[in-house]
Structures are given as C-alpha cells and as structure tokens.
C-alpha cells in the first residue's frame, strides 16, 4: 500500500456516499443523506452520492449518480412486469425473480451496481461511506478504497417485531423471506474496520446482534436541521391537537398503541390526532381506525411539504413518538426543535435524544401513553416548559455541523489505518 500523504489530515477529502434507498419524504435515511452531504460540503469537502431509487433531493452543488434498477417498489407502479429488454441483464433478472418471490434484493443489487461504477471511478475518492446497504459489493470495494458504514439501528429488531406482529405462520415465513438480506449485512459488517452509529443504545444492540466488537464503533448522533425545524410563534397552538410522524403500517413505529390511547382518552375529553403520513389502503392502521371508530379524531396528512410539516408542528399541543424501537429518533428531535412538548417511549435510543426534556413511557404500554397525554393536557404550564427545554436541548446537542465534524474524524481514522495496512 502507498504511504499516506503528508497533508491528508489537513486537506479536504473527496467522499463518496452510498445509499441504496434515499426516499426524501419518509424514513430517516433520506434525511440523513441530505443533511450529512450538505454539512460535509459546508466544511469544504467534495461529496458525491451514489443512490438507488427513489432519488434523493440534494442541493444542486452535490453530484448524484443514479444507480439503475428496475425500481419494482415504485409507489406509482409497484410490482410492475418488466419489459423484455429490461431483462437482458442478469442483475435485472435476479431483481425481478427475487421481488416476485417476496424478497427484498435492493441492498445486494445496489452494492453490485455500485461496485461496477466504482471500478471505473473509484480513483476519484479518498473514502467510501455506505449508508446501511452493507452489501457484498461494499466488501469487494473495501479492497480498493477505505470503507466506512453507518448502521442506524440493528435491522434484526425490525425482523423480530415484524414476526411478533403476525398471527399466522405463513405470514411469519413471509417476513423471514423479506428480511433474508440480514445474513449478508451481518457478514459484511463484521469485515469493516469501523462502523458509525447514532446512539449508545444502537452501538450496544448492533454489537450484540451482529457479533461485532464494541471498540469498532464510533458514535455520531444525528443532527436536526434547525434551519427548517424551528418554532413559529405566530401560529396558535391547539392543546388538544397531537401530532405523530409515523411510517403508519410499520409495527416498529408503534402507532397502534397510540390509536388505542386516543380511543381511551376521547371517552373523557376532546382530542385530535394528526398523523404525518398515509396508511396503506385497508391496511392494519386503516382497519384499526375503523374498528375503534376514530374517523373523527384521527386524520392523515399524506405527503406534505417541509413548510407544511413545520406548521403542523406549530399547531400541535404535543408530539408523541410511540415507537417500539428507535436507533435515534429524528421525529422526537424535530418536534423538540420546533418547541413542541414530546412524549416518547423508552424504546431504543429515544431516552438519549429526549433526555429530561420530555415524558418517557414504556413501549407497547397504552395506559401509560394515555396517562402521559392527559398529564400534559391537564398541565399547560408543564407542557410549555417541556417545549422550551426540548428546544434548548436540540440547540445544544444535535447539530449537523457537529455530526459532520465527527464523521470526518472517522474518515481520517479509517484512511490512516487503510494506508498503513
């Protein structure tokens, strides 16, 4: 290996960020990619992104290389039948057959296609940073370039919760099939010299479930975009209006427990729940809303703009994060940045994010969730104090500049060790 350049630890780096799925409208990975790439560039580094569909929405000065795929999970045309010309390549045939048999091949195939791109263009970068694809392609690339990966939380938790949520054995098998990529991710993660994660809880749980020594992890908490999420004092809050940001039909997010809590509370007082998102047609959440007769109390916004999102926070009397598990918990941080009092579970890393600036309850505990909501409804002064405390906590601890600086320190560490090996 060539010796490390003398100025490596002073000069700007050329960074390639890999993200197999970069949805800018739902989930934390698209947010992570957008904010981290922006903050790395603001520190003076050159950043390019390789992304699978849906395409990320990045600032114009950050190049995006779209990694092609059949995109069979496109909401506009899900599970479409590929055209014959699209099946001329083996990766596309594999993708179609895998999706047709209830698999999720995106992480594996993204890694393969990214490897093909970086075989030709890898010389342009000092380091590659994978955003949780953990594919065999990343393992192969690690022989050419210094590798680093972010694991936001152990995907094994998603599998466990998904299996528990299914009543029928055949549906449990379906979940095992969907999550069959976990074996690959465990294997690849164990080969990496360093792994970034976003909380101490995630570090412990990934180490346990993936069998990776704790010393290989570097903790870099996510930031909150305080240029976007901030209080709007001119908007009137409605103390009985509750907001939740939720992947509605995902058992991991715990929305079913909040719906049961709302059903309990509405017997005693008026209450309204606004869900930022859209449930699956006739899915678990829609059926539960009908069963509990909550049509007048619960509304779904669907996909909304960032500005509308912030105004929803400004109108809310409180935000609830009912997740069974979170590796970090961006919705809690975003609500706190907007000055909204937060009720969250103790699932995963949420206590690390919320701290003493909110009310914490056990996950899957509907009575405790209902009691916490009524506690804030009965005590407006406490709600206002928690909102202010949460705002101050975000400003002090969760900025993207700080996250980018810690990430760059990890880049330089892995480059140094790679050049020495």
Query: The tokens 């680093």 sit on which residue?
Result: 148
What is the pLDDT at residue 30? 82
Q: Is residue 92 over pLDDT 80?
A: yes
What is the pLDDT at residue 1? 37
What is the pLDDT at residue 197? 97
What is the pLDDT at residue 26? 54
What is the pLDDT at residue 54? 83
Which residue has better confidence, 75 or 52?
Answer: 52
In terms of DSSP bridges, do strands 217-219 and 195-197 run parallel, antiparallel, or are they unpaired?
Answer: parallel
What is the pLDDT at residue 3? 47
Q: What is the mean pLDDT of residues 399-413?
A: 96
> What are the residue ranges of CATH 3.40.50.2000 in the chain?
14-223+400-420, 238-397
Q: What is the mean pLDDT of residues 294-319?
A: 94
What is the pLDDT at residue 303? 84
CATH for the stretch 238-397: 3.40.50.2000
The string over 212-226, giving b where at least 16 C-beta atoms fall within 10 Å of a residue's C-beta and e elsewhere, is: beeeebbebbbbbbb
Residue 65's pLDDT band, with cuts at 50, 70 and 90, is very high
Q: Which two tokens stand for residue 296?
A: 């007048």
Cα dist. 302→32, 41, 49, 279 in Å? 21, 32, 28, 8
What is the pLDDT at residue 406? 96
Q: What is the mean pLDDT of residues 368-377?
A: 98
Contacts of residue 123, Cβ cutoff 8 Å, sequence gap at least 6: none
Q: What is the mean pLDDT of residues 374-392?
A: 97
Average predicted confidence (pLDDT) for the chain: 93
Cα dist. 194→191, 317, 364 in Å? 9, 42, 34
Q: Which two tokens stand for residue 21?
A: 């799925």
9-51 pLDDT, tens digit each: 679 999 999 999 877 655 578 889 999 999 999 999 999 999 9
323-363 pLDDT, tens digit each: 999 999 999 999 999 999 999 999 999 999 999 999 999 99
228-284 pLDDT, tens digit each: 999 999 999 999 999 998 765 788 899 999 999 999 999 999 999 999 988 988 899
First to last CA, the chain: 7
Q: What is the mean pLDDT of residues 211-217?
A: 97
What is the pLDDT at residue 178? 95
Which residue in 220, 215, 197, 241 sits closest to 341, CA to CA?
241
108-155 pLDDT, tens digit each: 999 999 999 999 999 999 999 999 999 999 999 999 999 999 999 999
165-186 pLDDT, tens digit each: 898 999 999 999 999 999 999 9
CATH for the stretch 14-223+400-420: 3.40.50.2000
What is the pLDDT at residue 337? 97
Q: Which two tokens stand for residue 153?
A: 């939380």
- Three-class secondary structure assignment of the chain: CCCCCCCCCCCCCEEEEEECCCCCCCCHHHHHHHHHHHHHHHCCCEEEEEECCCCCCCCCCCCEEECCCCCCCCCCCCCCCCCHHHHHCHHHHHHHHHHHCCCCCHHHHHHHHHHHHHHHHHHHCCEEEEECCCCHHHHHHCCCCCEEEECCCCHHHHHHHHHHHCCCHHHHHHHHHHHHHHHHHHHHHHHCCCEEECCHHHHHHHHHHHCCCHHHEEECCCCCCCCCCCCCCCCCCEEEEEEEECCCCCHHHCHHHHHHHHHHHCCCCCCEEEEECCCCCCCHHHHHHHHCCCCCCEEECCCCCHHHHHHHHHHEEEEEECCCCCCCCHHHHHHHHCCCCEEEECCCCHHHHHCCCEEEECCCCHHHHHHHHHHHHHCHHHHHHHHHHHHHHHHHHCCHHHHHHHHHHHHHHHHHHHHHC
Name the burial class of residue 27, with classes exposed (0-12), middle (13-18) and buried (19+) by CB atoms within 10 angstroms of its CB: middle
């Amino acid at each position: 290996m060539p010796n490390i350049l003398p100025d490596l630890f002073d000069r700007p780096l050329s960074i390639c960020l890999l993200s197999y799925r970069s949805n800018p409208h739902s989930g934390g990975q698209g947010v992570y990619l957008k904010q981290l790439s922006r903050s790395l560039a603001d520190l003076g580094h050159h950043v390019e992104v390789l992304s699978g569909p849906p395409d990320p929405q990045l600032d114009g000065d950050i190049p995006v290389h779209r990694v092609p795929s059949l995109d069979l999970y496109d909401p506009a045309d899900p599970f479409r039948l590929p055209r014959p010309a699209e099946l001329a390549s083996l990766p596309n045939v594999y993708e179609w057959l895998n999706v047709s048999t209830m698999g999720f091949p995106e992480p594996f195939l993204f890694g393969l296609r990214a490897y093909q791109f970086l075989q030709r263009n890898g010389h342009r970068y000092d380091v590659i940073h994978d955003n949780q694809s953990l594919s065999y392609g990343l393992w192969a690339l690690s022989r050419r370039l210094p590798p680093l990966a972010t694991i936001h939380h152990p995907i094994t938790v998603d599998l466990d919760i998904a299996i528990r949520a299914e009543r029928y054995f055949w549906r449990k098998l379906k979940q095992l099939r969907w999550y069959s990529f976990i074996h690959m991710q465990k294997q690849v993660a164990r080969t990496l010299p360093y792994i970034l994660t976003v909380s101490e809880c995630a570090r412990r749980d990934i180490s346990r479930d993936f069998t990776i020594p704790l010393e290989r992890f570097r903790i870099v908490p996510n930031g909150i975009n305080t240029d976007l999420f901030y209080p709007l004092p001119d908007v009137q809050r409605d103390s009985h209006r509750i907001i939740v940001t939720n992947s509605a039909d995902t058992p991991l997010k715990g929305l079913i427990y909040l719906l049961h809590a709302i059903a309990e509370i509405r017997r005693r007082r008026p209450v309204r729940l606004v869900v930022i998102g859209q449930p699956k047609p006739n899915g678990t959440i829609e059926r539960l809303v009908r069963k509990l007769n909550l049509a007048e109390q619960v509304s779904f916004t669907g996909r909304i703009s960032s500005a509308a999102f912030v105004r929803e926070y400004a109108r809310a009397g409180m935000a609830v994060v009912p997740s069974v598990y979170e590796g970090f918990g961006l919705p809690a941080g975003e609500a706190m940045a907007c000055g909204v009092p937060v009720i969250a579970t103790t699932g995963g890393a949420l206590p690390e994010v919320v701290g003493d600036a909110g009310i914490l309850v056990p996950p899957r505990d509907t009575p405790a969730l209902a009691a916490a909501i009524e506690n804030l409804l009965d005590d407006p002064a406490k709600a206002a104090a928690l909102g202010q405390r949460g705002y101050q906590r975000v400003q002090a601890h969760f900025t993207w500049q700080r996250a980018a600086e810690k990430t760059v320190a990890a880049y330089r560490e892995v480059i140094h060790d790679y050049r020495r090996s």
